[in-house]
Structure formats: C-alpha cells, structure tokens
Chains A and B, each alone.
Chain A
Amino acid sequence: MGQRKKIVGLDVTSLLHGRQVTGIERVIVETHKYLTNLLDADEYELVPVSTIAELTKKSNMHPYLATDPILAKPLANFKECDILFFTNINIGLPMKELIALKRDKNLKIISLIHDILPLKHPEWFATPEKLTGESITLSGKNFYQIYIQATFAMSDKTILISEHVKNEIISLGWKFLPEFNVIPLGSFDSKPLTKNREKVGLNTVYVSTVTIRKGHDQLIEAFEILWSKGVDITLTLVGGKGWLVSDLLEKINNHPENGKRLFWKQRLLDSEVEQIYADSDIAFATSYDEGFGLVAEEALSKGLKVIARDIPVFRERSYPNLYFFDGGADSLSEKIMEIVEKPTEPIDPGTIRTMQAFAAEVAEIISLL
C-alpha cells in the first residue's frame, strides 16, 4: 500500500480578487507553475485554498491568472491540508483555527514575506493616520504588524526574498524572530529578446507600478535634464497607476514631451511589454526601497543594461550590465549618459536567476516538512 499523498494547500486569497496583475501576483502564479512540476505528483497533491470563505473565483478573472494551474482547480478546504503555503499578505489568517490544526493535526505552515515596507515606510502606503470604520481605529502600519507577528508565530518555515528584508526585520528589534530562509526571486523569462533593428534612437524603459516609492519623480527629472541638453532619448513608463501619485500623474499627462519622448503605458499585454523591452537599450530600477525589485532581473534577462538605485537590496545582485547610481536626478542623468556609451556585455544563458530556481528551493523546503 502506498503512502497517502500530502495535501499542500496554496493560499490563493490575494489572487481571488482577480483584478490586476503586478509583480507579486506573477511571483505567485509562476511559483505555482513550477511547483506543479517540481513536486512529485505521487507524493504531493497541490490544491488552492483560501482562509476567507466569502471569497470565490470570479468569472472575469485576469487572463494571466487564468494560466495558473493551481487556481484552475476547485478551491479546497484549508483544514484538510497537511501543509499550507501562504505566498502573500493575508490579514484574514484564522489564527485560533490554524494553531489548533497545528496542535491537533500536525499542520505545517510555510509563509513567504515579500517585504516590511508598510512598517518601515508607512508614509508610502497610507496617508490616513487611522482606519476609521464604525468601530475600527487601526492604522495600516498596525494592520501590517499584526500580519507579520501572526505569520512569525504560526509558521514552521518563513521565507524571505532577500537578505535586505531579513536585515530590515532584524532591525525592528523584536523579541521573537523565527528562523528565516532567504530565497531570492528570479526573472520570469530568461530568454534574451531579438532587438528590433528598425527601431532607431536611444530608448529606455521602466516597468513598474507608478507609486511614490518607485522613484518615477527623479527618473523624469533626470530625463528633463537630458532633454534640456539636447540628448535625443525616450523614456517609456510601463505600469498601472498606484497611490499617492496624483501630482506625478498630472506632471506626466501635461508634460511637453508626453507622447513624443515620454510615454506612459498601462494595461499592456505581455507581448506588448516584450516589444518595448526589445526596442529598449536601458531599463531602470529606481525604487527608494524594495523587498526584491524584480524589474532588474527581468530586464537583465532580456539583454538590457540596467541602471538601479544604489540601495542594499539591489546591491545583493552582482550581474554584468547592472549599474548603480547614487543621489538625485543630476547623478542619474550623468549615469545614463555614461552607460549609454558602454557596450552590452553578453550574458550566458542561466546567469540570471530565474523563478524556476526560486521555486526549486521552495520545493526543497516543502519536502523537508
């Protein structure tokens, strides 16, 4: 008689909203795809679960989410699982229930923490001092702290996506810290693109949700300096509208270069983003802070040079064609001109870390439980 398969419940709560796809959703979906192949189907059954009973799958789900092999299955009951894997923030953790399941049914929990930015930089996420409902008075920062504390308390394995996140957590000075497994993310697609030979001039791209922490403000200022000096260079911003950026959006929409050498594109198909990468020479990673910063890996894997802000999380990567700038718009504009002149170094296949490598390490952790 064969052993019973272990049921691994992958928490899809954040995907059930199904409205948009940013980096985190892509990380979750790609991890699901790889885990499906990496974990022996004779030993593990992977099922989607949600801890919030009211949430169900929507019929008009984003097409990319529809490619998720886990999400395609019927939702299972998390109480029937041997292992639960929480891949994103889930404030709705039924703590009492999970602790009882751990105690009575030897449930194992793995959690993936992407960052603690809402604790370190609440100003980037919430202008209201407090959430106010009928009886609720709780700041977004408190809310996130509850999530992190609950996660630490319940998880058998806590995965962080960079040493930087680990260092930031340690810097909180909290009394109880679990043992962390740092597993860096990777690029979604490591195939270099064929450059569009018909595309002329110097073109650059920044793929990122437009929010204040992503540094679009300085990037545009740097380009204004270059344009004022007569440099013929384009900047294409790719990404949805975030929050706290109304002034920036107004500036972009009313910019004299808008539609000429400054472009902002939203809701593109993956193939359209690929084309923009193919037409570009340089990509940017100008965030003031990140848990990982996928955009650098993604652009490097597509054969672009990348100029990243000189912050610890980006310094963890050491790749050819990755350059750093420190300071404001002036130094960024100087760095752009410096890097424009540099040849793009060829990168051997497999050099840039991939999401497959990330998922393989996650699979190892699952197999240890």
Chain B
Amino acid sequence: MTSFISSPVELNTSGISCERLDGEMVIISFETGKYFNSNGAAADLLFLIENSIDQSLWSQILGSAFSDFKEDGSGISEFLGLLLEEKIILECSEASKSSVELPTDYQRSTWQTPALLVFDDLADLLLIDPIHDTSLEGWPTVKND
C-alpha cells in the first residue's frame, strides 16, 4: 500500500492535450508549448492518474499487468516528479476511484522504468514537409538529394 508521492495527483486538463493511441501517450502543453511522449508503463501511469485511481492501488494493478513489477526501483516517484515539474499533472485533494482496467492497446511484457520524452524545440523538424520530403525509406525521413 504505497503512495509514490505525498499528495494525490490529477491531469492538468485545462493546460494540456493528452491522448492515447496504441499504448503511447502524446501530451501537448498549451502553457509551455512543449510536446511530450510516453509509452508503455509510463502511458499506463498517466492512464491511472487520468482515471483518478488511488496511488495505494497502483502496485496491485501494475503487478497484475507486468510480471516483474516491484515498487522499489520502479522509477514511479521520479516519473511523477517530472510530470509535476512539467505541469502535466497537479496535486489535488483526493483520487476517488478504486478500480480500472488498463487498456489492451499494446502487448505488455516486463516493467520498463517510465520515461517522459520532452521536446521543447522541434525547429529542426519543423522545416520538413512530412508528406513530400520523403525518401524511399519512408515518411518523414528527410531526402538526401
């Protein structure tokens, strides 16, 4: 029965766009203009937060989903700290729900330390036209010619 950080947390829904697709979460912060990408376990943690699941139940849920999950060394506290720092989540008064089924939109295997990829400067890629600047290797690889 662990709380990974001292306070319940919730998604900062007024300041971000956060949508899941095939086990990956893309987050856009309207305040900072940053883009974030999380997949696998990290996307599942965001799913638990989004669904207001009490932190004390996370280990049970994640233990059922990931065969080798252990609280110690899971990296969850650090991940939550990063989410708070980037204002993707906010502290709140309580997490109300006690159960949820994790999405079945990807194949889970072993626990991977949750990571948040942060992109605060896409300038190099912004100059790519993703439709036409393609090589035979696919989109959106930049043509060499």
Contact = CB atoms under 8 A, between A and B. Distances in A.
Report, nearest first, the 9 A-B pairs whose CB atoms are least far apart. Answer: A125-B139, A92-B126, A96-B33, A127-B138, A126-B138, A149-B17, A145-B26, A174-B19, A243-B134
Interface string B125-145: 111111111111111110000
B113 interface: no
A242 B37 CA distance: 29
A150 B28 contact: yes
Contacts of A143: 125, 130, 140
Contacts of B135: 243
Interface in A222-268: 242-246
B132 A20 contact: yes
Nearest to B35: A146
Contacts of A24: 131
B24 interface: yes
A136 B124 contact: yes
A95 B22 CA distance: 25
Given A95-B28, A145-B26, A119 B21 contact: yes
A17 B141 CA distance: 16
A125 B138 contact: yes
Interface in A83-142: 88-89, 91-92, 94-96, 99, 118-119, 125-128, 131, 133, 136-138, 140-142
B125 A136 contact: yes
A138 B32 CA distance: 19
A138 B26 CA distance: 10
A140 B130 contact: yes
A270 interface: no
How many residues of A sit at the interface, in one of the four size bands? 35 or more
Given A150-B28, A172-B21, A91 B136 contact: no
Given A131-B141, A243-B138, 4 more contacts: A88-B131, A126-B139, A131-B140, A246-B136
A369 interface: no
A89 B138 CA distance: 17
B117 interface: yes
A145 B19 contact: yes
B17 A152 contact: yes
19 contacts: A19-B132, A52-B126, A92-B126, A118-B139, A127-B137, A128-B141, A133-B125, A136-B119, A137-B117, A138-B117, A141-B21, A142-B37, A143-B125, A145-B26, A150-B28, A175-B19, A243-B134, A243-B135, A245-B136
B122 interface: yes
Contacts of A119: 21
Given A52-B126, A243-B134, A243-B135, A176 B19 contact: yes
Given A20-B132, A138-B117, A142-B37, A128 B19 contact: no
Contacts of B28: 95, 146, 149-150, 153
Nearest to B124: A133
B126 to A, nearest CB: 4
B30 interface: yes
A209 to B, nearest CB: 10
A202 interface: no
A137 B36 CA distance: 11
A109 to B, nearest CB: 14
Contact of B30 (A96, A118, A133): A96
A119 B24 CA distance: 12
A146 B137 CA distance: 22
Contact of B131 (A14, A95, A145, A245): A14
Contacts of B33: 94-96
A34 interface: no
A96 B32 contact: yes
B82 to A, nearest CB: 16
Contacts of A54: 127
B36 to A, nearest CB: 10
A78 to B, nearest CB: 15
Nearest to A88: B131
Interface in A162-210: 172, 174-176
Contacts of B129: 14, 17
B139 A91 contact: no
Contacts of A174: 19-20
Contact of B19 (A14, A92, A138, A172): A172
Nearest to B32: A96
Interface in A16-34: 17, 19-20, 22, 24
